[in-house]
Structures are given as C-alpha cells and as structure tokens.
A and B are shown apart, each in its own frame.
Chain A
C-alpha cells in the first residue's frame, strides 16, 4: 500500500483537528504512518513526515532542528516545495528526535508569536518526543477540555516554563504539536494551561 495524498492526509488532518480542538486527546497516526513504509527520508519519523505533507506547501516556510537538519530540509522542500528559513521567520518549526537538549526551548523562544492584530501569523512547533500516554503528570485545562485532563510525556527540559513565558500575552503565542515514535499525536494550542502535578506534590509535602 502507498500513501494516498487525498484520503490519507485528510484522515491525518481530521485527527489533528480532533486533537487540537480537544487538547489532551491523543490521536493515533499509526495507520497512515504504516503506508509510508520505505519512504523515510533522512531518517525522520514517519508521523513528522505525515504532518509535513498535510500542512506544508509553497505558501509556507519551515525550519528543522535535528542531527541531519539540512538533509531533511532539502527532502521536505523537494516533497512539498515549502521553503526552509531562519527559525524566527518560519511558519512551522520541526524538531526531530535527535535535536538535542535545549532545542525545544530554543525553538519556543525563537518562534514567531504573531501580533495582537494578526495572532494567526504565529508559528506552530512540531516535535518528536518520547512516549506520549494518558496519565496524570501534566494536567491540562482550557478551551476544548471539560474540566481538566491528564497526560504523560517523556520530554525533559523546562519547555513548559518557556511556553508559559511565550504565551503570556494571549492571543499571541505558539501552538505545539507532539508526536512520539508510536505515532501518537498530542496537540497543545496556546489556550491550553499546563500544570505539572510534580509541583503540586511538592507543595503538599512542604
């Protein structure tokens, strides 16, 4: 089987819509990713490639962080005709798994948050992370979530702090999309508030 750019990318998009409108809802891109078998340019994750094919075209720009960023940028450009640019100018910032510590924080810091007049011109960060599951390490709340919902995500660093800093002045901010190696998709739009339950526990002990 081969990926059908009409129907399979529509299905990826609908999962992205579901996960973005209900932050914390984890969508499975496994079925579509399996169709990309054998097409794995520059060793990137197949779900990252699926998202790139769904969202990128000549009208938008992107930037890749990761070990072999240049090769992957070239590959994405050839597949979608989107242009690779500097981080602060990019509409989409893509972080591969081997992007290294501090890359996500750097991407969040550099990403264009849009303006008060045009908040939609902000960047979206797509990152490959460790395993994403339902859980209770991070508590999410905000539009799309009835009261609160919990997730676990294997992702080190102080990205939550950086994100809070970046999204301080709503409606400007950046939207995050995470995928793991099992092709589980999590979307964290700027309206989602993240609470680390570790902090809550710490306060409790004190």
Chain B
C-alpha cells in the first residue's frame, strides 16, 4: 500500500460530496444526481465514475473485484484494481461470490449477486434521452415531466427501419415506474438481471458527472411494445467451447485460419470456476 496518498486516494471532502450524491441517488431510484466529478489519475471516459463510487464506498475490510466486459484481466480492469489496491490495501479477488464491491464495465456477472454485495457500473452516457435531445436543460425537463414518448419513438423507428429493436447494449429501462434510465452499455441479456436484484446497483458517469442507483428489489422494466416484446440476445443451442455452459452470455469468435465460428463465456471468472470445479470432480 502506498502511504503517500490518502486512504482510497480521495480527500475526505471529495468522498463526502460523492457520498451525499449517492444517498440521494438511492432515495430516488433511476434519477441522475449531478456530482462534482473529480480529476482522476485515469482519463475521463475510462471508468472514472465507477472508480469514484468505489473509492467513496471502500473500507479496509472490503474485497474488490473489477471486470471489464466480463474479463478480470483486461487493461482497464487491471489498472483500476492496481490503483485501488495501492491506495487502500484491500484484498482483490476474481471470484464474484467472494467480492463485497464489484466494479464492472458493461456486464453484470453470471453468478447471482447477494444482499451483502454492491455492484458499481461504469457509465459512458447516463442520459437515455440524449440520442434525440442534445440539450441537458431539455432532457432534465423531460424527466421532470415524465415525458418519455421520445424514448419509445426511438425504439419504434428502429422497428420501422430494421424490423426489430436494434439497441444491442444500453437498452433503456423504466425504474420503479417513474424514471427512464440508461442501464449502462450492458448487453440486453443482462437487463432482466437488474429487475428485483438482491444487490444494490450504483451507476457512475465520471465524464458526464452523474451518479444514479437501483436499490435492491426495485422493479426494472425494459422498454418495449406489446407486439414487439423486449428480448435479450439468444444463444439457443450454443454453448461455451471451454466449459460447456449454456444460458450464459457468449462471445462469438472466428478462427481466421479455418473460418470456423465458436463460442466462449464472456464472464471469464465464471468460465474458469466451472472448469476448476469440473477438474476437482475428476471429470477430465
């Protein structure tokens, strides 16, 4: 641990400001609370929102897991883990079930979360209405008036043009029947995991200076139409080539030499855990 820095990098004043914003965010699920996003030693847009939430929450007893698109070992996840470990000395883990705070970029882990865990999601664009309304002043008004026809119209236009909703990731959701929220660019596959989740989910956008939250057991409904219901990505009939898991989010990979397509778990630590268990059981 590097003692040249404050515990958890921040001065106490910065933590207090983030903490006050977080508490208001929890009290108003899905509402984006503005906060004074601090300068961080990583670039804005590289997870500073999530990092600031993690640093304001973390204590000596916490166990931290950081994932980037399902991977514990990508550059972004490793740098964030290093920074937090250097300034706090907390234990780092790859196992979802062992972590108390999980900071994630664009995925909700495959292992179901528990009540004693907090999921922190990094958010690039917190405003679900920004696609059709460039003014922050106007989108705040639209949220205030619960005027969300634009969000539905956006999905309607996709159906008109392409025959289905083409959001891919970041499919907008309705929180507690009041606010339309960007769930961060998690795949549609992960949207249903947010609904009535057991863990507290905090979302932080560092560049856009917003914090918002989904408390546990909160109703989250992905926006859709009666005749065009919301659907997650389907991996029907496909399984991970390494661990054989079905019903998880799979990455599609193509072997350039043979042109063969194969699939692999996106959540690397989940895949690894399954493989290790199988080995222990003596399957191989």
A residues adjacent to B (C-beta < 8 A): 5-7, 9-11, 13-14, 16-17, 20-22, 54-57, 59-60, 115-120, 122, 124, 143-146, 170-171, 175, 189-191
Contacts and interface: CB of A to CB of B under 8 A. Distances in A.
A143 B31 contact: no
Contacts of B213: 21
A196 to B, nearest CB: 22
Contacts of A13: 19, 56-57
A13 to B, nearest CB: 5
B200 interface: yes
Given A5-B12, A55-B20, A60-B20, A144 B215 contact: yes
Contact of A6 (B6, B22, B215): B6
29 contacts: A7-B7, A10-B8, A11-B59, A13-B19, A13-B57, A14-B59, A17-B23, A17-B57, A17-B118, A17-B200, A20-B27, A55-B16, A55-B23, A56-B16, A60-B20, A115-B144, A116-B144, A117-B143, A118-B140, A120-B31, A120-B34, A143-B29, A143-B176, A144-B26, A144-B218, A175-B23, A189-B26, A190-B27, A191-B176
A175 B27 contact: yes
A150 B145 CA distance: 33
B17 A17 contact: no
A10 B57 CA distance: 7
A167 to B, nearest CB: 10
Contacts of B31: 119-120, 171
Given A5-B12, A143-B215, A144-B218, A119 B28 contact: yes
B255 to A, nearest CB: 45
Interface residues of B, number: 45
B275 to A, nearest CB: 34
Interface in B64-98: none
Ranked nearest first, the 8 interchain pairs of A and B with the lowest CB-CB distance are A189-B27, A116-B144, A144-B215, A143-B218, A120-B24, A21-B200, A117-B144, A21-B215
B57 A14 contact: yes
B33 A120 contact: yes
Contact of B28 (A57, A59, A171): A171
Contacts of B176: 143, 191
Interface string B216-240: 1111000000000000000000000
Nearest to B211: A120
B7 A190 contact: no
Interface centre among A11, A60, A144, A175 (most CB of B within 10 A): A144
Contacts of B29: 143, 191
A22 B117 CA distance: 13
Contact of B16 (A17, A54, A120, A170): A54
A17 B22 contact: yes
A144 B200 CA distance: 8
A190 B60 contact: no
Interface of B: 6-8, 12-13, 15-17, 19-29, 31, 33-34, 56-60, 115, 118, 140-141, 143-145, 176, 178-179, 196, 200, 213, 215-219
Contacts of B200: 17, 21
A22 B217 CA distance: 9
A202 to B, nearest CB: 29
Contacts of B58: 10
Given A13-B57, A16-B23, A117-B141, 11 more contacts: A6-B6, A6-B12, A10-B15, A17-B118, A21-B200, A59-B17, A116-B145, A122-B24, A144-B215, A171-B28, A175-B24
A190 B31 CA distance: 13
Contact of A7 (B59, B145, B216): B59
A80 to B, nearest CB: 9
Contacts of B145: 116
